[in-house]
Amino acid sequence: MVNPNVQGKKYPATNPYLVGREKIREFAHAVKSTNPINLDVFAAQAAGYNDVVAPPTFAVVIQERSLATVLNDPEADIDFSRVVHGDQRFIHARPIVAGDELVSVLEVASVKTLGAHSMVTFETKIFAEGDELVCTAISTLVVRGGE
């Protein structure tokens, strides 16, 4: 059972994550993108970007770094072996581009209990240098109760 008292708890900003060009290409291939904007620097620059653009779900890599902090927080008491991903959303103020240095700040938006299960919603704000908001990632995990 997830501790309902962590609703509203904010976790400190993660260490900066430098978005690499090859990491974007690797992730793009993994999600089966063939979009030149993800893969080809010249195509991305012709479209007005500084470098290759990350696929729309790449922000999950940054979100995971914040989530790891929560999953290791004894106060939250989340049993990762019982976690199922319920839903996910990424709201982009602008796309993530190779060369970005990103930090994320996570807040536990809500903790709900449904019978033996808990539903925890996390809101992770991802910032580039100069506190520029790039993306808000919203994730709900379902934590199955014990048998």
Partner 1 sequence: MTHINIASLEVGQVIGTSEFLLTRDSLVRYAGASGDFNPIHYRDDFAQSVGLDGVLAHGMLTMGAAVQVAVDWVGDAGKVIDYGVRFTKPVFVDAKDGAVLVVTGKIGEIDAENGEVRVDLTATFNETAVLGKAQARVRL
Report the interface residues with partner 1, using CB under 8 A. 23, 26-35, 37-38, 47, 49, 53-57, 60-61, 64, 81, 84-92, 94-95, 97, 138
- CB neighbour burial string for 35-50, b if at least 16 within 10 angstroms, e if fewer: eebbbebeebeeeebe
Q: How far is the CB of 90 from partner 1 (least distance, A)?
A: 5
Q: Which residue lies nearer to partner 1 by CB, 56 or 99?
A: 56
Q: How far is the CB of 33 from partner 1 (least distance, A)?
A: 6
User: In sequence order, which residues have a C-beta less than 8 Å from that of residue 42 and are 6 or more positions away?
Assistant: none
Question: CB under 8 Å, gap of 24 or more: what pairs does 29-32 form?
Answer: 31/55, 31/57
Q: How far is the CB of 5 from partner 1 (least distance, A)?
A: 27
Q: Which residue lies nearer to partner 1 by CB, 3 or 136?
A: 136
Residue type, 8: G
